[in-house]
Amino acid sequence: MLQDKITQYTAEINAFSTSNADELEQFRIKFLGTKGIIKDIFDEFKAVSPEEKRTLGKVLNEFKQLAEARYQSLKEETEVAVSSKDSGLDLTLPGEGFDVGSRHPLALVRREIIEIFSKLGFVVAEGPEIEDDWHNFSALNFPEEHPARDMQDTFFIKKGGEKGDIALRTHTSSVQVRMMEHGKPPFRAIMPGRVYRNEAISARAHCFFHQIEGLYVDENVSFADLKQTLFYFVQELYGEGTKVRFRPSYFPFTEPSAEMDISCTICKGAGCPMCKYSGWVEILGCGMVDPNVLENCGIDSKKYSGFAFGMGIERIANLKYEIKDLRFFSENDARFLKQYKTSLI
Ligand code: DAH
C-alpha cells in the first residue's frame, strides 16, 4: 500500500516542471508542507510492521530527498527566470543561430587527394614558395637557355645567388628535388602547394594556382606502377568506371613523359563544353623520373627508378564542382565560398 503510493508520487514528482513561482509554491505545500504528502506518509509509516519498516525506511527517505531536490532545482530555475526578466533579459528565449563558415573548395579537394594517396602509403611533403633556379629548373633537367624554361613564365625576384636566380616557384616539382637531395630512397610522397606564373589573369588563367606533385622512387619502379597508381586515384576521386588514357608528352624532368586524360566527368564522354565535345579532359602530367634528375639529386640511377606526376588542384576542383571561372577561387566572395559546406572539419 505505502509502497504503491510512493511509486505513484515519485512518478508525479519526476514529471513535474515549472518556472512559475506560484505553481512551485503549490508543489511545495502539496509534498513538503506541514500537512503535505510526505508528512502523511511518514505518519502512515509509523503503523507498519517492523520487518516492513526495514525495507520501506530506505525507500521513504529516498522519496523525501527526491521531493526536496526537485523543489530546490526548480526553485533555482524559477529565480533565474524571474531575475532575468527583471533585468530585461529573458534567458528562456531561444538562442540565435550563428554561421559556422565553410571550407574553401580548393582545401576540400586537396584534402580528398591527400587522403586517397595516403591509402597507398604516400606521405605529404612541402617546400618553399620562393625558390632558386637549381631547385625549380636546373636540377629538373631544364638546360640553361633551353626553350623549355619558356614553358613556365616566371616571376623573378633576384638575379644571381649561390644556386641561381631567385624566383617564385613555377611548379611543385621543385619539392621533389628538395626531398631527394635530403633523403635516401625509397621516396613515396605527394607535395601540395601554391605556384606562380607570370600570366594575364582571366577566367582560364591566373598568376597563382595550386598543384599537387607526386613522387615514387624505389628499386624496379616501372611505368606500369605509374599507370596503376593513377588509375586507382581516378577511380577513388571520380568514381569507378571513370576511364583514363595516356598521351605521349614532353617534360624535361621525365622520360618518357605523358599527359593523362580522364573520361569527362560532366557528360560521361558524350561531349559537352567542359571537354570541348571530345569526351576527354586532361588532368595531369606524369612520367618516369629522368635519370639525370636522380643523379642531380645524388641518387644512383642504375639502382633506382621512379615515377612522378603533377596536377593542378583548381582543374580537379573545376571538374568536380563545375566552376567556370578561375578567379572565383581567390576573390573571397562569401556567396561563392559558402556553397561548399561540408561536415568534414
Ligand atoms: N611540373 C609540371 C607542370 O607544372 C607538372 C608535371 C608534369 C609534374 C609531369 C610532374 C611530371 O612530376 O612528371 O606543368
pLDDT at 302: 98
Q: What is the pLDDT of residue 316?
A: 94
Q: Are residues 186 and 253 in the same domain?
A: yes
User: Of 52, 87, 122, which closes a domain?
Assistant: 87
Look at residue 340 in the predicted model and tell me its pLDDT: 85
Which pLDDT tens digit goes with each residue over 151-192?
678 898 988 888 999 999 999 999 999 999 999 999 999 999
Distance from residue 285's CA to the centre of ligand 1 (Å):
5
Number of domains making up the chain: 2
For position 269, what pLDDT does the model report? Answer: 84
Tell me the CA–centroid distance for residue 232 and ligand 1, in Å.
19
Q: Taking the CA of residue 5 as centre, how many other CA atoms within 13 Å lie in the half-sphere pointing to its CB? A: 13
Tell me if 174 CB under 6 Å of ligand 1.
no
CB 192 near ligand 1, within 6 Å = no
* Contact between 307 and 288 (Cβ < 8 Å): yes
81 and 153 belong to one structural domain: no
Pocket test for ligand 1, best of 213, 216, 233, 315 (most atoms within 8 A of CB): 213
Say if residue 147 is in the same domain as residue 58.
Answer: no
Residue ranges in the chain whose pLDDT is less than 70: 148, 150-151, 342-345
Which atom number of ligand 1 is nearest to the Cα of residue 307?
Answer: 13
What is the reported pLDDT for 151?
66
Give the separation between CA 279 and CA 269, rounded to whole angstroms.
Answer: 4
Q: Are 65 and 32 contained in the same domain?
A: yes
Ligand 1 pocket: which of 225, 286, 290 to mutate (most atoms <8 Å of CB)? 286
Whether 96 is in a domain gets the answer: no
Helix axes 21-32, 37-46, angle to 10 degrees: 10
Cell numbers standing for residue 147: 626553350
In the numeric block, the cell 568506371 is attached to 241
Q: For residue 137, how far is its CA from the centre of ligand 1 (angstroms)? A: 12
pLDDT tens digits along 280-326:
999 999 999 999 999 999 999 999 999 999 999 999 998 888 888 99
Domain end marker among 56, 87, 118: 87
Provide the grid cell at 112. Answer: 580528398
Atom of ligand 1 nearest to the CA of 215: 12
CA of 213 from ligand 1 middle (Å) equals: 7
**Would you state the pLDDT for residue 296?**
98
Domain end point (choices 87, 115, 143): 87
| 256 found inside a domain | yes
Q: Which residues span the domain enclosing 73?
A: 2-87
Separation of CA 78 from chain center: 44
| Phi then psi dihedrals of residue 133, to 5 deg | -60, -40
- 213 within ligand 1 shell (Cβ under 6 A): yes
Q: Within a domain: residue 174?
A: yes
Q: What is the torsion angle, in degrees rounded to the nearest 10, for the CA atoms of residue 167, residue 170, residue 176 and residue 177?
A: -30
Strand order in the sheet with 305-312: 123-124, 187-196, 208-218, 305-312, 280-289, 254-263, 244-251
Residues 130, 274: one domain?
Answer: yes
